[in-house]
Amino acid sequence: MAGVGRVLEGRVAIVTGAARGVGAGIARAFAKEGAHVAVVDLDTEGAERVVTELSSYGAAASYACDIRDSAQVDACVAAVVERFGSVDVLVNNAIDATSGRFEDTTDDELDRVLDTGPKATLYFMRACFPHLRDSAGGGRVINLRSGSEPQGMAGFGAYVASKAAVGGLTRVAAREWGRHGITVNNLAPFVLSDGARSYFDERPEELEKIVLKSLSVPRLGDAESDVGRAAVYLAGPDSSYVTGVTLSVDGGGSFFS
């Protein structure tokens, strides 16, 4: 029965930051729908663990890559194409997030979040473009954005700037690449990932307030069954007329306009 009716059967997907959290959830959802998944991360052990898990659904491989370095990104994309023959779906998910008071933001924090945000997103989109354009089922780009952005969430100045820039890249590429059969969209999730937990562990009352008071659907999201399934839609055949939008998968925590 393997493979019957799976919407991403044989499609090749790159998911950055897929060693854990949201990226791992998206990678799992893709693999269960038949995609060949390239798990890209700096954390090689975590990436290998995810690949082992995905291998029961189909072909998967891990790629050690520091997404801040465009030469490593180019080499990573070339290695994926060498191994799987194409890139049909690109998910720019990895981030080295920071938080803190606006006036205390350091140069290093700003560099980290911009280097792993819009700069890495552009590096991957640029390197993948010729392959996405040649994709038989149409190229798909999914960039991770954040509900903290429209809210201007206090304590996240550099991070919000990074995500706003990612949103800008998405809109421009959506305009330019539609004629090449490529859609470009954003996902804005809310999941208690390792990254999010490291922030909320020190502020449990803030998490409770967000879940109980700010979410219309008062529960935490799941990286695979909530965010991953939304990513399957944006990566698959049913979304070919959807581009340039932000799909919030955050229990109604934020509304983008």
CB of 225 to ligand NAD, least distance (A): 15
CB of 36 to ligand NAD, least distance (A): 20
Residue with tokens 């890139």, as numbered in its chain: 87
58 burial level (CB within 10 Å; 0-12, 13-18, 19+): buried
Given 123, 159, 199, 241, the catalytic residue: 159
C-alpha to C-alpha distances, 90 to 105, 168, 198, nearest whole angstrom = 30, 17, 27
Residue with tokens 């999010």, as numbered in its chain: 196
For CA atoms 76, 11, 171, 251, give the dihedral sign: negative
CB of 103 to ligand NAD, least distance (A): 22
Which C-beta is closer to ligand NAD: that of 6 or that of 160?
160
Q: Nearest-CA neighbor of 27 among 58, 3, 54, 66?
A: 54
Which C-beta is closer to ligand NAD: that of 35 or that of 113?
113
Q: Would you tell me how many other CB atoms lie within 10 Å of the CB of residue 191?
A: 20
Q: Nearest-CA neighbor of 12 among 87, 91, 124?
A: 87
What letter would DSSP give residue 202? T
CB of 51 to ligand NAD, least distance (A): 13
User: Given the rule CB under 6 A, which residues bind ligand NAD?
Assistant: 17, 19-23, 41-43, 46, 65-68, 93-97, 116, 144, 146, 188-191, 193-196
CB of 219 to ligand NAD, least distance (A): 13
Which C-beta is closer to ligand NAD: that of 81 or that of 94?
94
Return the axis-axis angle of helices 157-177 and 107-114, rounded to nearest 10°. 30
Which C-beta is closer to ligand NAD: that of 44 or that of 133?
44
Which C-beta is closer to ligand NAD: that of 33 or that of 226?
226
Q: Catalytic annotation on 233?
A: no
User: Contact, 155 vs 106, CB < 8 A?
Assistant: no
- Active site members: 159
